[in-house]
Amino acid sequence: MAFEALALQRHRWLVLTATVIASAVVLLDSTVVNIALPAIQRALRADAAATQWIVNAYLLLLGPLVLIGGSAADLYGRRRIFVLGTAIFAAASIVSGLAPNVTALIVSRATQGFGGALLTPASLAILQTTFDERERSKAIGIWAGAGALMMAVGPLLGGWLVDQISWRAIFLINIPLAGTAAGLAICFAPESRDPRAKQLDLAGAASVAIGLAALTWSLTAVSKSGFRDEKVLAALATGIVLLTSFVAIEAYLGDRAMMPLSLFRSRNFSTMNGLTLLLYFALSGALYFLPFGLIRLGGYSATQAGAALSPFALIVGLGSLLVGSIASRLNWRLLLTLGPVIVACGFALLALIDFKQSYWTGIFPSMLLLGVGMAITVQPLTSTVLTSSGEVHAGIASGINNAVARVAGLLAVAALGALFFTNFSSHFTGAAPAQVSDALNAVMRGQASAKPEAIAAFRHALRVVMLVPAGCAALAGLIAWLWTDPRSLHAIKTQA
């Protein structure tokens, strides 16, 4: 009996290893690609719009489809969906690593996002059914901690791979990791389903995915066609109509919807998702453009750029653990206000620095402020999201919050990309959009033909773009102070 118990325990931790590896790979791809973008753009001769799609194609399917991925796992089997998602992610990583052109890379990145949308919620569901209540918190803590570690290691690893091997290595490294995760799950993870699971909300998933795609395409196409182009306006209108339809579909389906709107009746739940939208819009948008500033304006190598961003993730990971350990003694409303305000100060500082100045007096203070601000915010925000929705809906509430963060990143890259191009083009009075686009691409690719006036316009546009995340983070802090319910927040803190 003792031998059987020991074997069962070993199997459980092998299952945990599978879920940690697969989920970490998904998160890793969300961080390393930004560092590799300057090299990818130069190698594949991608323009600014196509470069944005390398990031957005991944987020477009990963964000909104995370919710339906969780439903599919409950309906068809958690292990089955986990293995399927991991296999899709691995296959798409092979295509990404071997992509002959930017179109193939964008398609494979979208496929990666679809695989990630299946395996991420399935991995958590597997942990819920594999571990009992006594060990579950420890297992989920390890799962979450590995994600934080990937956030810290990702940019540095990605930069090293780009400099020492190739940008293609950041995708091909996924293959052995995904294969290990799938093999462990097949051998040791128990299969489980939710007998109460309902039919998939395919109408909702299609409307939100296509709506976001149309909206994102319209904003991204601005760099080529301008805001007055008929196709841009038509895509923008289509996106708005489809996203409005998504809300109507979810309201009609009620509890059968992949995003039950009844959860938003909770004032704190709605407020926390508003904070998530603003904060991750700010973070994703800034961290997309920052590597270009470091590499093209500051002369950093990809490895140095990755190392420059690492303190942010380390501080968030370690700081969140510290805040979590003393959270019951802190004022959560103050934390949820102060954290975003500190983040806003970090972004404002980024708008003022010269990328050629010393790292320790330029970039590092900004990374310090961003890390401290997010570390203060993450724990109370996550706990409020989970607890304010009730224990029965904790899983779907977590999924919604995760989807909001991913969609925020998608919209940020597209919207800030349009703002960046608009500001950049304002320095080229009378020039056609195509000419402005060529000048921008020359700077972003690091071409020797890039003219000084284009580099100056790029530097100015980058400063303007960094001010938008600062404003979003400051607004998040203001909303937290004005809209959180102090009494229920205190009750949630006591429960957590």
Q: pLDDT value at position 394?
A: 59
CB-based burial of residue 299 (10 Å sphere; 0-12 exposed, 13-18 middle, 19+ buried)? exposed
pLDDT tens column, 139-185? 766 776 677 677 777 888 889 999 999 999 999 999 999 999 999 99
Q: pLDDT value at position 136?
A: 67
pLDDT tens column, 64-99? 888 888 888 888 888 999 999 999 999 999 999 999
The Cα–Cα gap between 95 and 168 comes to: 10
pLDDT tens column, 429-457? 777 777 888 888 888 888 877 888 889 99
> Which pair of tokens denotes residue 78?
């958690």
pLDDT tens column, 191-207? 887 777 677 888 988 89
Mean pLDDT of 235-249: 92
Q: pLDDT value at position 178?
A: 93
Q: What band does 109 get if pLDDT is binned at 50, 70 and 90?
A: very high
Q: pLDDT value at position 47?
A: 85
The Cα–Cα gap between 23 and 343 comes to: 26
Of the candidates 147, 35, 39, 60, the one whose C-alpha atom is nearest the C-alpha of residue 111 is 60
Q: Which of 117-121, 154-158, 228-232, 266-270 has the lowest mean pLDDT?
A: 228-232
pLDDT tens column, 386-418? 677 665 555 677 778 888 888 898 899 888 988
The Cα–Cα gap between 337 and 141 comes to: 25
**Percent of the chain whose predicted confidence (pLDDT) is above 90:** 38
Q: Residue 278: pLDDT above 90?
A: yes
Buried b (16+ CB within 10 A) or exposed e, 52-76: bbbbbbbbbbbbbbbbbbbbbbbbe
Q: pLDDT value at position 393?
A: 59
Contact 3, 256 (CB under 8 A): no
Q: pLDDT value at position 3?
A: 45
CA–chain centroid gap for 483, Å, is: 25
For residues 281 and 63, the model is more confident at 281
Q: Residue 209: pLDDT above 70?
A: yes
Q: Which of 269-283, 326-340, 463-477 has the lowest mean pLDDT?
A: 326-340
pLDDT tens column, 47-63? 888 889 999 999 888 88
Q: What is the DSSP letter of 484?
A: S
Of the candidates 383, 496, 384, 398, the one whose C-alpha atom is nearest the C-alpha of residue 123 is 398
pLDDT tens column, 342-358? 999 999 999 999 999 99
pLDDT tens column, 18-43? 988 888 888 888 778 889 999 999 89
Q: Residue 496: pLDDT above 60?
A: no
